[in-house]
Amino acid sequence: MIGGVALGLAVVCLVLGGLVLVGYPLVVVLLARRRGRPARARAWTPKVSILLVCRNESKNLPRKIASLLALDYPKDKLEILVADDASTDGTVRILNAARAELPKLQIVRSSSHRGKPANLNALMARASGEIVVFNDARQPLDPQAIRALCAALADPEVGGATGDLVLPVGDDGAVPAMGAYWRYESALRRAEGALHSTLGGTGALYAVKRELVRPFERDLVLDDMVLPLRVVLGGHRFVFASEARAYDVFSESLEREFQRKVRTLAGNFQALRFERRLLKAKGNPIFWQFLFHKVGRLALPWLMVAAFALSAVASTAVGFSTVKHLGTALLLAQSCFYAAALAGEILVRLVGRAGPLGMARTIVSMNVATACGLFVAVAGGLRATWKEADSQDADALSEPGSARQPMGSNA
């Protein structure tokens, strides 16, 4: 009896996990193709305020500034506001030197380490543009990025738009596992945006109409998730602008990349605390999307653990050979999946690439980070500050025009 119940519950957990990872994305993509309504984009050149918060970004800033200088947008309708969060490297020197080429550059200097939300609030108070563009120092922008965002925002129903974070592929055309996962995530975001709205933007590049921007909570970690969702809860759409691109690379530090994942996923739990309206169907036009995409992802590691434990119980059933055989088969299949993930992790550490085992490694890594993120959020270890930029990441960045998009990727 116990074995049969355990087997049934294990199957339920696996089915729910499959719906989150595969079923829901397939349904959304199919619905977007049949019933999608892309933003009614048109050429529009309003005044734009580009906001940038920096802390010890001397390695990244030269490329970033070069990309801002190369933007194909009327210079008289563009203002750039940069907050320096008490940097201790050459960040301020680089910013001051940039004033010669960016005469409308405004620099707000903080004497203490305040964190990103406080600095963004200070910049937003100074912004005079109709459109506010949020981006990071690490990722250079494509010359057409601002035009593409504004074109999407020309639709009266659209309150915000996210750009496309482009990750490079190898010279042999291979897409690293994390790149494949990002391609999957990007396709899902594009489809969600076509149906109504994406469930957040990429911190590397997103834009919101000025009248919809409100000050951030001091300890907010994911401004690029919370602000877009507040735009949607306010009755507007937040869409995906595939031609608005920012460029990035994969982190060379596995530990640092994992820390970023934990911080980001902890921020998802924090977002639920700040915006409980998201969990109510009334007043939330993307409730079902949020339930499957965000809440489902947060529940996924616990579903996986439960499925494994319940399969183990079913495999020891006494007197029910069918239940025992099915439980053993499920346990073996899951064990092979986790073994593949472990082998992929070992390969990445030894040779830098997991090959066909990369997707298993990525899925398990993301779920471990989600579990850690919950503990960080509950323990109160989440702070709206960050560590210094990884110079290895900066050195690896390609010039904006040379990074190649993973096949069919968006953001």
Tell me which amino acid residue 112 is.
S
- Is pLDDT of 388 > 50? no
* Local confidence band at 176 (pLDDT 50, 70, 90 cut-offs): low
pLDDT reading at 151 higher than 80 = yes
DSSP annotation of 201 reads -
pLDDT at 397: 40
Domain termination residue (choose one: 220, 252, 284): 252
Q: Are residues 266 and 190 in the same domain?
A: no
Examine the domain organization and report whether 245 and 257 are in the same domain.
Answer: no
Residues 245 and 110 in one domain: yes
Most confident of the following: 244-258, 292-306, 310-324, 376-390: 292-306
Distance (Å, whole) CA 341 – CA 344:
5
The answer on pLDDT for 8 being more than 90 is: yes
pLDDT at 175 over 80: no
Range 273-293 average pLDDT: 91
Is residue 355 very low, low, confident or very high in pLDDT (cuts 50, 70, 90)? confident
Residue 100 is which amino acid? A
Residue 375 lies in a domain: yes
CATH code (residue 133): 3.90.550.10
Q: Given this model, what pLDDT does residue 163 score?
A: 94
Q: Give the integer Cα–Cα distance in Å for 354 and 343.
A: 8
| 394 assigned to some structural domain | no
Sort strands 131-135 and 205-209 into parallel, antiparallel or unpaired: antiparallel
Report pLDDT for 181: 74
What range does the domain containing 299 cover?
1-36+253-389
Residue that wins the pLDDT comparison between 183 and 155: 155
Q: Mean pLDDT for the chain?
A: 86
For residue 401, tell me if it sits in a domain.
Answer: no
Tell me if 402 is assigned to some domain: no
Above 80 in pLDDT, residue 154? yes
Residues 221 and 280 in one domain: no
User: Does 311 lie in the same domain as 221?
Assistant: no
Tell me if 407 is assigned to some domain: no
| Pairwise pLDDT comparison (12 vs 172), residue with the higher score | 12
Please check whether residues 248 and 260 belong to one and the same domain.
no
Q: What is the per-residue pLDDT for 253?
A: 56
Shared domain for 27 and 88, answered yes or no, is no
Same domain? For 223 and 337 the reply is: no
Domain boundary among 214, 232, 252: 252
Write down the pLDDT at residue 218.
87
Mean pLDDT of 214-242: 93
Question: Is 409 among the domain residues?
Answer: no
Helix 358-379 with 177-195: angle, nearest 10 deg:
70
Tell me, yes or no, whether 243 and 263 share the same domain.
Answer: no
Q: How confident is the model at residue 179 (pLDDT cuts 50, 70, 90)?
A: low
Same domain, 226 and 269: no
What's the pLDDT at 84? 93
Residue 169: what pLDDT?
Answer: 54
Which of the four pLDDT bands, split at 50, 70 and 90, describes residue 264?
Answer: confident
Q: Is residue 404 part of a domain?
A: no
Mean pLDDT of 130-157: 96
Residue in 37, 31, 48, 67 with CA at minimum distance from that of residue 398: 67
Give this prediction's pTM. 0.84
For 185-218, the pLDDT digits (tens) are 888 999 999 999 999 998 899 999 999 999 999 8
Going 307 to 309 to 315 to 320, the CA torsion angle's sign is negative
pLDDT, position 320: 67
403 has pLDDT over 80: no
Cβ atoms of 177 and 354 within 8 Å: the answer is yes
Angle in degrees, CA 207, 139, 170, rounded to 5: 125
Q: pLDDT-based confidence at 405, cuts 50/70/90?
A: very low
Q: Tell me which H or E stretch contains 34.
A: helix 24-35
Give the domain-ending residue among 252, 286, 309.
252
| Whole-number pLDDT of residue 111 | 80
Residue 403 lies in a domain: no
Per-residue pLDDT tens over the stretch 108-136: 988 888 889 999 999 999 999 999 999 99
Task: Give the chain's count of helices (H) and strands (E).
Answer: 14, 7
Q: Are 221 and 270 in contact (CB under 8 A)?
A: yes
If one counts every other C-beta atom within 10 angstroms of the C-beta of residue 252, the result is 14
For the chain, how many residues are written?
411
Position 313 pLDDT exceeds 50: yes
From residue 237, alpha-carbon distances to 38, 95, 286, 340 in Å are 10, 35, 10, 40
Q: What is the C-alpha separation between 301 and 308, in angstroms, rounded?
A: 11
Cα–Cα distance, 161 to 39 (Å, whole number): 10
Asked if 239 contacts 198 with a C-beta cutoff of 8 angstroms, the reply is: yes
Total structural domains within the chain: 2
Given this model, what pLDDT does residue 401 score? 37
Choose among 187, 163, 369: nearest CA to 263.
Answer: 369
Query: Quick check: 250 and 358 in contact, CB under 8 A?
Result: no
Query: According to the per-residue pLDDT averaged within each range, which of 231-235, 260-264, 394-398 is highest?
Result: 231-235
pLDDT bin (cut points 50, 70, 90) of residue 260 is confident
What sections of 196-320 are H helices per DSSP?
A: 223-233, 254-274, 287-290, 296-314
211 with 130, same domain? Answer: yes
Q: Are residues 45 and 193 in the same domain?
A: yes
pLDDT at 256 over 60: yes
Average pLDDT, integer, range 261-279: 86
